[in-house]
């Protein structure tokens, strides 16, 4: 049982970090579907930097690349007002493709000093509370949420809608980058093409499941981690075929999504903002 809880937290951690990152962006009204690709590229950056300059530089590189990709998403969604869904999907495909291409020479290399997972797990746990406090108890957090709910009103109050959205995308990108760094430096201290293996998409779904609330994301990520571990822990000891176990976490996500009904998404989510319209 202790083992299961430990795995729930350790496997839930990368999902949690990515979910928090996407959640932050979406609270400001920008749909963030680029998570998978952003995770993949920052995982690669973290791995490469850790090999060259040591683990702490690895973390830094992962976070910076994530933040950069978040801002890059902003160029299309905030400044150019492109369709946010399309831009996100493109970012995902771009990140996955680019990481595969650039990562070729890092494949099959061991990481001499893998980082402990516990540190990341603790940090992610604290970040969930910090983000909650930031969103609901600070002025900047209020601005951020109001930009996501009603950008026109926020604009009238003198809040820079574009600025806030860039801020949210950059910070969120940093969190997603941290998640990528966790994957390649601690959870699986190696780099392989496609190593994110769909975790980014789980995070995207979890944002909705968590109704855009950091603390619910915390719960959801650990819950997913627990289910994921249990499918292997229970396989063979209960008379359920392994294929059914493999589908379980996803079925549960769908079930919870269906039951949660219309979660209160930020009202301006997905709508590009243009002053005077």
Sign of the CA dihedral running 146, 149, 153, 158: positive
Query: Residue 106 CB, nearest distance to other proteins (Å)?
Result: 9
Nearer to other proteins, 167 or 181 (CB): 181
Kindly report the backbone phi and psi dihedral angles of residue 235, in degrees, each rounded to the nearest multiple of 5, phi listed first. Answer: -55, 130
When the beta carbons of 130 and 197 are compared against other proteins, the nearer one is 197
Query: Which of 242/260 has CB closer to other proteins?
Result: 242
In the complex, what is the shortest distance from the CB of residue 230 to other proteins, in angstroms, rounded to a whole number?
8
Indicate the residue among 243 and 261 with the shorter CB distance to other proteins. 243
Q: How far is the CB of 3 from other proteins (least distance, A)?
A: 4
CB of 187: closest distance to other proteins in angstroms?
A: 7
All residues at 6 or more sequence positions from 51 whose CB lies less than 8 Å from its CB, including other chains: 58, 106, 109, 111, 112
How far is residue 216's CA from residue 37's CA, in Å, rounded to a whole number? 24
- Residue with Cβ nearer other proteins (102 or 257): 102
CA separation for the pair 262, 197 (Å, rounded)? 28
| Per-position DSSP letters for 81-145, written without gaps between them | ---HHHHHHHHHHHHHHHHHHHGGGGTTPPPSSPPPHHHHHHHHHHHHHHHHHHHHHSHHHHHHH
Interface ranges with other proteins (CB under 8 A): 3-4, 7, 11, 100, 103-104, 107-108, 110, 114, 187-190, 192-195, 197, 199, 228-229, 231-233, 235-236, 241-243, 246
Shortest Å distance, C-beta 115 to other proteins: 12
């Amino acid at each position: 049982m202790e083992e299961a809880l430990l795995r729930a937290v350790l496997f839930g951690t990368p999902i949690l970090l990515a979910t928090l990152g996407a959640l932050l962006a979406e609270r400001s009204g920008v749909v963030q579907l680029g998570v998978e690709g952003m995770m993949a590229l920052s995982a690669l950056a973290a791995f490469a930097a850790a090999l060259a300059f040591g683990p702490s530089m690895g973390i830094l590189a992962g976070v910076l690349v994530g933040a950069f990709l978040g801002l890059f998403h902003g160029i299309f969604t905030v400044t150019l007002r492109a369709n946010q869904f399309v831009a996100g999907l493109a970012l995902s495909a771009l990140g996955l493709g680019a990481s595969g291409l650039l990562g070729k020479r890092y494949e099959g290399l061991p990481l001499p000093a893998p980082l402990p997972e516990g540190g990341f797990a603790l940090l992610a746990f604290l970040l969930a509370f910090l983000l909650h406090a930031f969103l609901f108890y600070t002025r900047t957090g209020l601005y951020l949420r109001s930009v996501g709910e009603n950008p026109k009103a926020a604009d009238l109050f003198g809040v820079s809608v574009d600025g806030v959205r860039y801020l949210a995308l950059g910070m969120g990108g940093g969190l997603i980058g941290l998640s990528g760094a966790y994957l390649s430096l601690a959870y699986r201290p190696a780099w392989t093409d496609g190593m994110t293996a769909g975790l980014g998409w789980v995070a995207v779904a979890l944002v909705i499941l968590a109704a855009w609330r950091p603390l619910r994301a915390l719960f959801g990520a650990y819950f997913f981690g627990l289910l994921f571990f249990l499918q292997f822990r229970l396989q063979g000891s209960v008379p359920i075929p392994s294929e059914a176990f493999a589908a379980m976490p996803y079925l549960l996500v769908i079930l919870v999504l269906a039951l949660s009904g219309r979660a209160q998404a930020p009202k301006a989510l997905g709508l590009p903002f243009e002053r005077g319209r």
